[in-house]
Structure 1
Amino acid sequence: MSSIIEKYLTEYDVSEADKSLYVSNLDKNVDEEILWELFTQAGFVKKIKMPRDIRTNLHYGYAFIEFFKEQDAIYAIKLFFSLKLYNKTISVNRLRTDDKSSISNANIFIGNLSSDTSAKVVSNKKQIYDTFSAFGVITNAPKIYKSYTKKGIKFYCMLSYESFEASDSAIYAMNGQFFCGNIIVVTYSFKTNKIRFGTITERMLSENRKIFYNK
């Protein structure tokens, strides 16, 4: 995904990238007209780019959608989270430049999710998004992972916030709460074996970058 985004980011300036989305896992039957009709429900769409194979004219399963307003792009992520098109759940994420996307490292870990079937946990992704987006802007769709332990399969989730204020609030409010069938653990995820995100240095850099981009 990162290489695809890096390739097409060369066609966007910073302001355009903030208003744009990367939509993936698209069925072969989805075309620009369907995407236009769908995403205009979130706001005024400026343009849609759907890369296609030159010989077959088939798209590659992803598209780039630019809105006129950044808040409409953010709203579209929430509105179409876990939406199914032709029985495939699409993925909707923000398209951002490397410098801007690293304004914060507010990455959190949500552990001890339901140990039931994978399908049930994945179906809770929308509930996770709806609950945790109440604390601030989520920059990427929550990702569900599983680990194998002696007691069976355990599921956990990783997501990123736009600011440390949002991630701090989520951790404070949700850690130790009953959610998705279990008492969950919510904390900053590890960036190395011993160090978690959310260090004082990262917070200082985050504030400095905000000042720079808001000039």
Structure 2
Amino acid sequence: MGPASAAALALSFAWSCDAKTFGMTMMAHVPRLGAAMNQISRRPLGPAVLLASLVGALTVGTYVVYQGYHATGGFNFGTVSFMGTGNLNAFGVFKFTASRIQQGTVGTDWMRIAFLGVGAGFTGLMFWLRYQFPGFPIHPIGFTISAAAPLQNTGLTIFIVWAIKTLILKIGGLEKYRETAPLFLGITAGWLTGVALGIVIDTIWFPGQGHEIHLAY
């Protein structure tokens, strides 16, 4: 791997590993939305999603660059990705990649490849167990993402939601589960509304100061 490939790989961190990136999860819902639409209505879905992605990327990119170079400065954004603290963030990945390029050690790391192989083998084993034994409780996706920082911070929340879902299905069945779905969607919508309201209030009454709103987890 040459320096150019190493730099490109590091830049892909923002799309695959950054905890504040919701783009990939949002895109995963697009096919499901299209499947629920009739053939005529779904035709403009693809172009609309691409246009929205382009507009969003340009807007966010322009705003971040402006704030970083002409306003508060990236270090004052208040996030580890820009402050450079720790290694499990974009800054740490870029710094690590730059040091490897400077040292000329961007070749294959066989130790990491070995760990990748062990992880792939273990995940494959769990897939096989789930196919052989339908009641096997451990899902392979849990093993692959369990080490991520967002999962470590939201583990309790995930298990609480899982427990509530299990209780609803056990007590009321699928019908009750579908009846209560709008309640939990409303909770999520209410949280997002509160975040949006906080941004508006900070913009009007606390320009240049504001309050940190944690969206990553």
Q: TM-score, normalised by structure 2?
A: 0.23
Tell me which protein shows more helix as a share of its residues: 2
Tell me which protein shows more strand as a share of its residues: 1
Give the greater-gyration-radius structure (CA): 2
